[in-house]
Amino acid sequence: MQREMLQMIDSQSDRLYDVLNTLLDVWRFDAGTQPLRLAQIQLSELLLQTVKRWQNQAPDFQFILDLPPDIPPVVCDALRIEQVLNHLLNNAVAYSPTNKIIRLQLEANESEARISVTDEGIGIASEYLDRIFDRFYRVQSNEQKTSQLNPQSPPDLSGENVQTRFIASASPPSVGVGLGLAAARATIEAHEGKIWADSPGFGQGSTFCFTLPLAPRMSIQVQPLPALTDHAAAPQSNTRSVSLKQDHRISILVAENDARFARYVRANLEEQQYRVQMVTHGLQLLRQIDLEAPDMLILSTHLADMSGIELLQRVRDFSHTPVIMLCQDCDEDERVQFFDLGCDDLLVKPFGIKEMLARVRALLRRQVPQTEQAAKQSIFVTGDLLIDYAQHLVTVDNKPVQLSRTEYKLLSVLAQNVGMVMTHELLLEKVWGPEYNRDVDFIWVYISRLRRKIEADSRSPKYILTVPDVGYKLAKQ
């Protein structure tokens, strides 16, 4: 009995150790303090090795790996990307019945590679698709009902694919605590990629996809990586600088629930050289705006989780990005309401694609003067603190400061109101959104992080000053 209890304690201690390390990784990525060891990696070799290992761990499942020919190497942290793959495969195995297919697919275009993991498991209801990447979030078990399904595989988009088949098998690993997908999202976003999930619903399987740029979009240090495989390309020196041009294409974020119509809109926008990101839910759109400020929004009035009116109201609470609404069965009063709530243009379905593209061009033309005006005020200075909005750069005493996305946004809000007291509630609404206006703990944590990075002495700050029981202000020097 003692031996069994000690084995149980040892096993659970190991599990707790893994959970704490995963949580620390998520926090470090969020704070911008987690280093990446970047090198040129052949994703096909990494996927082959990962799938071979999983065929031994889960022999009761059938793994299929689709690899197109001539995939260029990707600059990434191979160890971190392998961890992401393990999180996604563990999720697929844990939530799928045995003897089902788990398909991995690799695709690439001229700018990025995309990896998808598709299972035939219990699936995910649409209202949970955005939240499953949150820390500690798991769909309630009483809603997780398995069903017999017809296997479906994603369409072959890569032409003549090399298909590698593995017949695998073992008991599915135990379900985790809701940190794996959060860690996967933090890792992919640190690589300047995107990650998302799609599922027709409960009992219909799910697909997790993530993208990686073929090379970083900015100048960063690429460090040598200890070889994980014999095929991994290792750098010849300890460090080397990779200088690449940033993608300056106009970005358009489209929220559309109709998959066929969304593909049609996306194809025509991309043909005009716009950079297009598609979402199907309002919550996904709100999070995507925070992750990557787009140049324009195209919003459908019929989404799965919220109405067009509610979505437009929430967007206008924190964003002034131009918005085109796509209406269906909207009468005159509804169209007037959309304009009053802040939409810039409106199209009623069905409409001609040429008209939509013309309205996009016209709306972008009207934004040019605002961009020029912002460029004139792109530098903010107070004391030795400088914010270069055009370069997305913060320096203190001419030394660059590495800030996370949220820290930069918080500092920018304080700078835009320099010398003025910003209440806790107002800061929460402007940085995190109106639904967070009571979570004062967020402010304390991020103000503390900011002070440690920009203040000479965080205990006696000279830039970010506390106004007791009210909020904070950025000192004007």
For every one of its 477 residues, what pLDDT tens digit does the chain have, with 9 covering 90 and above? 888 788 778 777 766 776 677 667 666 666 666 677 788 888 888 899 889 889 888 888 999 998 888 888 888 888 889 889 988 998 889 888 888 899 999 998 888 899 999 998 888 887 777 777 776 666 654 444 433 334 344 434 334 444 433 333 333 344 455 677 888 888 888 888 888 888 887 788 899 999 998 865 543 444 433 333 333 333 333 333 333 334 457 889 999 888 888 888 888 898 888 988 888 888 888 877 766 678 899 999 888 778 888 888 888 877 788 999 999 888 888 889 899 888 999 999 888 899 999 999 998 887 754 444 444 456 888 889 998 876 778 999 888 888 887 888 889 889 988 888 888 888 887 887 766 666 677 788 888 889 999 998 888 899 999 988 888 999 988
Whether the ω angle into residue 350 lies within 30 degrees of 0, i.e. cis, is yes
The whole-angstrom separation of Cα 262 and Cα 268 is: 10
Provide the residue ranges of all domains of the chain, joining segments of one domain with +. 17-242, 251-376, 379-474
Predicted local distance difference test score (pLDDT) of residue 252: 92
Contacts of 269 (CB under 8 A, 6+ apart): 252, 254, 276, 357, 360
The whole-angstrom separation of Cα 89 and Cα 172 is: 10
Q: Six-digit token pair at 213? A: 């740029």
Predicted local distance difference test score (pLDDT) of residue 225: 36
DSSP state of 235: P
Q: How many helices (H) and strands (E) does the chain have?
A: 12, 22
The b/e string for 109-128 (b: 16+ C-beta within 10 A; e otherwise) is: eeebbbbbbbbbbbbbebeb
Residue 121 near residue 148, CB atoms below 8 Å: no
Q: Six-digit token pair at 408? A: 């930069």
Predicted local distance difference test score (pLDDT) of residue 115: 92
Tokens 């992750």 correspond to what residue?
291
Q: Which amino acid is at 382?
A: T
The whole-angstrom separation of Cα 16 and Cα 474 is: 41
323-327 vs 39-41, strand pairing mode:
unpaired
Predicted local distance difference test score (pLDDT) of residue 87: 86
Report the alpha-carbon angle 25-29-31, nearest 5. Answer: 115
Predicted local distance difference test score (pLDDT) of residue 28: 67
Predicted local distance difference test score (pLDDT) of residue 159: 40
Residue 219 near residue 241, CB atoms below 8 Å: yes
CATH number of this structure's domain 251-376: 3.40.50.2300
The whole-angstrom separation of Cα 412 and Cα 97 is: 49
Q: Six-digit token pair at 176? A: 């985790």
Predicted local distance difference test score (pLDDT) of residue 248: 58
pTM of the model: 0.41
Predicted local distance difference test score (pLDDT) of residue 376: 45
Residue 422 near residue 414, CB atoms below 8 Å: yes
Predicted local distance difference test score (pLDDT) of residue 372: 44
pLDDT in tens, 202-222: 788 899 999 998 865 543 444
pLDDT in tens, 358-408: 999 998 887 754 444 444 456 888 889 998 876 778 999 888 888 887 888
- Strand locations in 229-283 (E): 240-242, 251-255, 275-279
Instruction: Please state the CATH superfamily assignment of the domain spanning residues 17-242 in this structure.
Output: Histidine kinase-like ATPase, C-terminal domain (3.30.565.10)
Secondary structure of residue 87 in the 3-state scheme: helix
296-300 vs 323-327, strand pairing mode:
parallel
Secondary structure of residue 148 in the 3-state scheme: coil
Using CB atoms within 10 A of its CB, is residue 249 exposed (0-12), middle (13-18) or buried (19+)?
middle
How large is the C-alpha radius of gyration of the chain?
24
- Strand locations in 223-338 (E): 240-242, 251-255, 275-279, 296-300, 323-327
- So what CATH class is 379-474? mainly alpha
